[in-house]
Amino acid sequence: MKQSKLFMPTLREVPADAEAISHQLLLRAGFMRQNASGIYSYLPLAKRVLSKIEGIVREEMENAGAQELLMPAIQPAELWEETGRWDIYGPELMRLTDRHDRRFALGATHEELITSLVRDELNSYKKLPVNLFQIQMKYRDERRPRFGLLRGREFIMKDAYSFHSTQESLDAEYENMFNAYSNIFSRVGLEFRPVVADSGAIGGKDTHEFHALAAIGEDTIVYSNESNYAANLEMAETLDQYPRQAAEPEALEEVHTGDAKTIESVGEYLGVKSEESIKTVIFKTEQGLVMALVRGDHEVNDIKLKNHVGALDITMATDEEIEEALHSKPGTLGPIGTDMRIVADYAVRSLTNAVCGANKAETHYIHVDPSRDFAAEYTDLRFAIEGDASPDGQGIVQFARGIEVGQVFKLGTRYSEGMNATFLDEGGKAQPLIMGCYGIGVSRTLSAVVEQHYDERGIIWPKAIAPFDIHLIVVNAKNEEQLSLGESLYADLTKAGYSVLLDDRKERAGVKFADADLIGVPVRINVGKMASEGIVELKSRAGGETQEVSQADLAERVRALYDSL
């Protein structure tokens, strides 16, 4: 490809609203443009990278036995009504009507569509298992599209769905996909971690997310410093390992605490530490209000609470709802003398002389003994903190930020039951299909790779997904000798199987080098002043020495450099 013809509109200025480094670099280097919030065009350089990522995904999926198909982006509303998700999915689902007022959704995901496709076909255990995948645009009207391709409203996803007659078969396929994902993310050049995750609204039980480690990541990953334990913060377990507070329980006492409302200010007022008080937070679920208790220095994990009570939806209760139920305002809430459902963290149970709100203005209790003073369901209810013991008993946990690039789920029969997708088992009995689903954010992966591979001058593509293998720069394209050597090397290298970008533009050398650093092709060859002697410069974008190489030796030296990357 000749750079003089390449549509690669670079920018000198970093757009003000681009916060993520990948977003800035991809805009500056002319890989993409925004057309509307969270909606982008992938320009030729990005399209080349996407094709390579897709190629790796396709190869690994096919090696793992999955088959590619392509489903429509436009899906009839009726399918989503069969599973109830037309209502549950909410405003993220982009909806439209046709000229006959028929309702449709733009595919945010394809469980319903694929289940409708297979339900009449995969009707015998003999036809199972099957794993089908596609690579396609997905649509989600995200509340906050941001960070460029990392959170778009239109984005490219690889989604796969597997169908099984037994749980063992699903378990085996889950592991198979888990391994395929590990191969894919290694091959695209990501430093990543598989983490235990929450299954959220999609339903199902076992699930892992694959996270690319990067500071911009929206998720916190909790991992052990000694084992390969890793979990999303939402799911990271904490152990019930709290020594009982030393002091003997004293008589419960009501005390005036003035306008102190926070754990800290009440603690200061009474001269007690945060870890000697009980924090009370009220949540609202479709089952009613629930009181959550954690130790004063801990935070309530709402996902753990949601899972414990088996709620579909959970939000913080409003001040009005709390006042109506407890006749008190946040700041002086507590578990004593209420008939609200109480769920408490294990750490609360180990307290003996604790402080908590008295559900009365300007008043708290002291010398609270949980086992004596109120009844609660005890469970692991708090967010993990750095330094906690690792749940697998090996080492302590640390935190890192991650970008979710993929996820594998065991869906079970959530969709097949809702959509009446059954097969006949060996005994001739109809059973719901057992399902798994497996997603990869292809466009998000492109950005995640940039988040891990750049320097102050631009992107440094891992060679497996670079838009070109070699950037061949004719330093002065007005010089005939340089240009003709450049063109002859271009022909040789192309013939040798490399994809080569030839910078034949009549630009200043400084501009050319800056652009080359920005777009980040892994191997660089400069054809400059020594062209008359048949000598060129060879180096890698990532750094290292610049070699002067004769035309005769070039093929071998390029191969050695390329293979070393």
Binding site residues, ligand ATP, CB under 6 A = 109, 140, 142, 151-152, 155, 157, 404-407, 439, 441, 443-444
Build a one-symbol-per-residue string for 397-416: x at contacts with Mg ion by CB under 5 A, - elsewhere.
Answer: ----------x---------
445 contacts Mg ion (rule: CB under 5 A): no
Inter-residue contact 167 to 148 (CB < 8 Å)? no
CB of 509 to ligand ATP, least distance (A): 38
Which residue number, 152 or 194, has a Cβ lying nearer to ligand ATP?
Answer: 152
Dist. CA 363–CA 461, nearest whole Å: 61
Closest CA to 495 of 558, 564, 541: 558
Which residue number, 358 or 440, has a Cβ lying nearer to Mg ion?
Answer: 440
Which residue number, 88 or 560, has a Cβ lying nearer to ligand ATP?
Answer: 88
Q: Which CA distances in Å does 288 have to 112, 301, 325?
A: 30, 18, 11
Residue 140 binds which one of ligand ATP, Mg ion, none, with CB within 5 to 8 A depending on kind?
ligand ATP
CB of 209 to Mg ion, least distance (A): 6
Inter-residue contact 554 to 496 (CB < 8 Å)? no
Residue 405 binds which one of ligand ATP, Mg ion, none, with CB within 5 to 8 A depending on kind?
ligand ATP
Which residue number, 198 or 481, has a Cβ lying nearer to Mg ion?
Answer: 198
Residue 152 binds which one of Mg ion, ligand ATP, none, with CB within 5 to 8 A depending on kind?
ligand ATP
Three-class DSSP labels, 60-82: HHHHCCCEECCCCCEEEHHHHHH
Which residue number, 110 or 279, has a Cβ lying nearer to ligand ATP?
Answer: 110
Task: List, in order, residues 6 or more apart from 505 with CB less than 8 Å away.
Answer: 3, 4, 477, 512
Residue 267 binds which one of ligand ATP, Mg ion, none, with CB within 5 to 8 A depending on kind?
none
Which residue number, 29 or 448, has a Cβ lying nearer to Mg ion?
Answer: 448
CB of 150 to ligand ATP, least distance (A): 6
**Torsion of the alpha carbons at 461, 464, 470 and 471, rounded to the nearest 10:** -30
CB of 407 to Mg ion, least distance (A): 4
Residues in the chain: 565
Collapsing DSSP states into helix, strand and coil, what is residue 97? strand
Residue 325 binds which one of ligand ATP, Mg ion, none, with CB within 5 to 8 A depending on kind?
none
Inter-residue contact 227 to 392 (CB < 8 Å)? yes
CA 121 to chain centroid, in Å, comes to 33
CB atoms within 10 A of CB 51: 12
Collapsing DSSP states into helix, strand and coil, what is residue 550? strand
CB of 14 to ligand ATP, least distance (A): 21
CB of 89 to ligand ATP, least distance (A): 11
Which residue number, 151 or 298, has a Cβ lying nearer to ligand ATP?
Answer: 151
Inter-residue contact 255 to 365 (CB < 8 Å)? yes
Residues that bind Mg ion (CB under 5 A): 407
